[in-house]
Structure 1
Amino acid sequence: MNPATVRSIAVFKLNHLGDAVTFLPTVAGLRAALPDAAILVVSSAATAVLYSRSIPGISVLPVNMGTARNGLSAGNLARLAWHLRTKGVDEALLSFDEPALAYCAAWLGGARHRIGFDLCGHRLQPSLTELIQGGVGRNVVDINFDLVRRISGQGDLAPRRVPVGYDSADQDAVAQRLATAGIGRGTRFVLLHAHSKHAYQRWPLANYRALSARLATAGLPTVALTQGFGQPVGEAVCLDGLTLPQLAALSAQARLFIGNNSGPMHVAASVGTPTLAIQGPTSPEWNIPWKDVPHEHLTAQNVACVPCDRLGRASDGQCANHQAPLACMNAVDVDRVFERAHALMAGA
């Protein structure tokens, strides 16, 4: 193919871990639908490895999002614009919840076609040349996949699960960490994740400790991801400092993942591990969409404010229920989680 006719596409996903994992099907869909296009994924530095290790045939441009609010610094903007112009990027695709940096870089980088969503009401939305009506009530994976449908002209395409990539070196590193803690290679365990980006999305740590003890009594070893908070979780072996590919390798070995609706939850589901999510305030649009992965989302019953964390609604990272803070998380008890965990493992 004549290089002058190759489509050069920049795809922006400058968000957190869960956002990035749920965006993998969109990037993979673009690669499959446009096999001759040059695809550049512009991602946060923290999640760049997800794309390079999970999807062949793409380029990744990592961005340090910690240099300023949402990464919007003069240095980041100049670097991105220069890189996009150097690559001759003509089309820029923005996920439904991109920060201002993505809008500015797409425009200053010279992309003539800038496609994004009319969903979150971003103030820089007028800089886009084409808007997709995202629509509420749909899973975020399917919403973002509209980019593939629009740019390929194939409206009947559907997203497919993309496992977070890892290799034998990642498996060996995880096996060594587990062996040091007394868990042998091949031992199936329950993986716990008690943390989340926002405090109001977290099931109480005391509940995770009690759950770990219940699982241990039932003969089920537990491993807890403690990166980000570093506190002991009952009977669980605590692990931190894992790379994202190592997290994927660890999740793939687990018999079951139990945690808050978070990035590690989406990593576990991506590699096919049965997943029990304690939902709390999170909108169902962020639920696991994959029918080939056993999973369940536990939500509070009879709590009127659920869900408060809706798509298109600005969140300040605080519980919206001032009369009964964290009512939705406190309403899910240990007995219910223990019961559903056994049901998921029995059916997997």
Structure 2
Amino acid sequence: MPLKHGEGALHEGPKWMALNPALVVLRGGALGDHVLTLPAVARLRRLCPDQPMYWIGHPDRGRLARPDHLVDADGPIGAALYGAEPSIPDWLRSADRIVAYSSSSERLAHRLQAACSGQIVTWDPRPNPERREHTIDHLLAPLPPCDPARPEDGVPRFSPTDEERSAARQHWADANIDPEDVVVIHAGSGGVSKCWPPGHFLQLGEWLERHGHAVVLLRGPAESENGHLFRTLTDRWPSISAVDPVVLASLLADIRCLIGNDSGPAHLAAAVGTTTLTLFGPTDPTRWRPVGGDGLVVQSPTSQMADLAVDAVCDAAQNLMQPAD
């Protein structure tokens, strides 16, 4: 499986060690970064169908890749790759193929090249500011194409298991909520500048109710850390939350729609096939829009989220969803 040169590096490690048939992927980042990496994971699975996948990364977010082995990047492996700890474990040293998405790609490449026996590709996951391409395409760029190509190759997909979906449906049932009638509002984001004002979300939620939709809030880290900013919303509507992204994906799989800021949950909802309406301000939807499911994006006429009119979002929601009877 030859890998491309590019905004990273391709290396062959020393040949003194017998290879094991392992594919190792290293990926950090937030929830959305992981979801947008799923097409790369799917391509690697097609290219290396018989190789077990080791995933070095976040212990919860990494589960979205369904790896055969999940290794916490903050544990000893992180110290071995980035710190002073000299010991790299044998399973990594002898891996057949290593794909490392890292902003420290050059430094990491030297470390891996000196210690590992297989083919190594390192790639900076940050989009190239000189190219207006979707981040998914950037993450796929160092990997060879699959033959035949398929239309869905660039679409993130995550499929909860029957057991995971059953647990999510039980959660909704315990809350006495039918998720098929629910529009989930996610008012938070990892960056304050990407957040539509809570008062605007309040008006949107009231509009949704007038048009027959049940409203449920999604509480993420931003809402927990700045609860006072969202109190007008949390006092008005019930809410759900899930630290585990697999649990969250399962909860979002059966809802009518998710409306929210440019954030990880929007990408995750799209990956399970849920309809999404995503609100953009300072970030570029050409690079960061959710892909998958039925979705629309609405962007502020300026970079300021407060300048995105409530009426514009309501009109987009009207176009995206038929009113409930």
Give the TM interval when normalised to the shorter protein. Answer: 0.7 to 0.9
SS of 1:41's equivalent in the other structure is strand
Deviation at 1:50, TM superposition (A): 1.0
**Residue number in structure 1 paired with 2:198:** 205
C-alpha distance in 1 between matches for 2:126 and 2:249? 30
Alignment of 1:146-225 (within 5 A): 146-149=141-144, 159-184=153-178, 187-225=180-218
What fraction of aligned residue pairs are identical, expressed as a percent?
22
Is 1:88 the counterpart of 2:91? The answer is no
Alignment of 1:265-304 (within 5 A): 265-283=266-284, 284-290=286-292, 293-301=293-301, 303=302
Contact 1:276 1:298 in 2 (8 A): yes
SS of 1:147's equivalent in the other structure is coil
AA partner of residue 34 (structure 2): A
Alignment of 1:255-266 (within 5 A): 255-266=256-267
C-alpha distance in 1 between matches for 2:173 and 2:142? 44
Contact 1:8 1:39 in 2 (8 A): yes
Contact 2:271 2:291 in 1 (8 A): no
How far does the alpha carbon of each residue in 1:177-219 deviate from its partner, in whole angstroms, 9 at most, with x for none? Answer: 33343313x5421011111111111111221122112211222
Alignment of 1:1-12 (within 5 A): 7-12=21-26
Contact 2:20 2:91 in 1 (8 A): no
SS of 1:337's equivalent in the other structure is helix
Higher relative contact order (CA 8 A, sep 6+): 2
**Residue number in structure 2 paired with 1:343:** 319
Q: Check 1:109–1:211 CA distance in 2 against 1; reply closer, same or farther (3 A cut).
A: farther
C-alpha distance in 2 between matches for 1:174 and 1:157? 31
Contact 1:149 1:157 in 2 (8 A): no
C-alpha distance in 2 between matches for 1:41 and 1:106? 15
AA partner of residue 112 (structure 2): A
**Residue number in structure 2 paired with 1:23:** 37
**Residue number in structure 2 paired with 1:42:** 56
RMSD across aligned C-alpha pairs, in angstroms?
3.5
How far does the alpha carbon of each residue in 1:262-319 deviate from its partner, in whole angstroms, 9 at most, with x for none? Answer: 11011000011111100111122112244xx221111112x2xx4xxxxxxxxxxxxx
C-alpha distance in 2 between matches for 1:201 and 1:183? 29
AA partner of residue 116 (structure 1): T
Runs of at least 5 residues in structure 2 that lack an aligned partner in the other structure: 1-17
C-alpha distance in 2 between matches for 1:189 and 1:16? 26
**Residue number in structure 2 paired with 1:140:** 135
| Number of corresponding residues | 297
Q: Check 1:119–1:189 CA distance in 2 against 1; reply closer, same or farther (3 A cut).
A: closer
Deviation at 1:96, TM superposition (A): 6.4
Question: Normalised by the size of structure 2, how large is the TM-score?
Answer: 0.77
C-alpha distance in 2 between matches for 1:33 and 1:287? 27
Is 1:59 the counterpart of 2:69? The answer is yes
How far does the alpha carbon of each residue in 1:75-120 deviate from its partner, in whole angstroms, 9 at most, with x for none? Answer: 9757895235556124322236467885576346525543234785
How far does the alpha carbon of each residue in 1:314-345 deviate from its partner, in whole angstroms, 9 at most, with x for none? Answer: xxxxxxxxxxxxxx201112221111112111
C-alpha distance in 2 between matches for 1:15 and 1:99? 14
Deviation at 1:160, TM superposition (A): 4.2
Deviation at 1:30, TM superposition (A): 0.7
Q: Check 1:134–1:338 CA distance in 2 against 1; reply closer, same or farther (3 A cut).
A: closer
AA partner of residue 82 (structure 1): I
C-alpha distance in 2 between matches for 1:13 and 1:84? 20
Q: Check 1:49–1:117 CA distance in 2 against 1; reply closer, same or farther (3 A cut).
A: closer
Larger deviation, residues 244-253 vs 163-172: 163-172
SS of 2:157's equivalent in the other structure is coil
Contact 1:279 1:299 in 2 (8 A): yes
Runs of at least 5 residues in structure 1 that lack an aligned partner in the other structure: 122-132, 307-327
AA partner of residue 33 (structure 2): D
C-alpha distance in 1 between matches for 2:130 and 2:97? 23
Q: Check 1:100–1:191 CA distance in 2 against 1; reply closer, same or farther (3 A cut).
A: farther
C-alpha distance in 1 between matches for 2:125 and 2:170? 45
Q: Check 1:289–1:242 CA distance in 2 against 1; reply closer, same or farther (3 A cut).
A: closer
C-alpha distance in 2 between matches for 1:84 and 1:138? 37
AA partner of residue 110 (structure 1): C
How far does the alpha carbon of each residue in 1:112-161 deviate from its partner, in whole angstroms, 9 at most, with x for none? Answer: 5432347859xxxxxxxxxxx997211111111123317x7x69677243
Deviation at 1:63, TM superposition (A): 2.0
Alignment of 1:226-241 (within 5 A): 226-228=219-221, 229-230=223-224, 231=227, 232=231, 233=233, 235-241=236-242
Larger deviation, residues 238-247 vs 215-224: 238-247
C-alpha distance in 2 between matches for 1:180 and 1:80? 50
Question: Normalised by the size of structure 1, how large is the TM-score?
Answer: 0.73
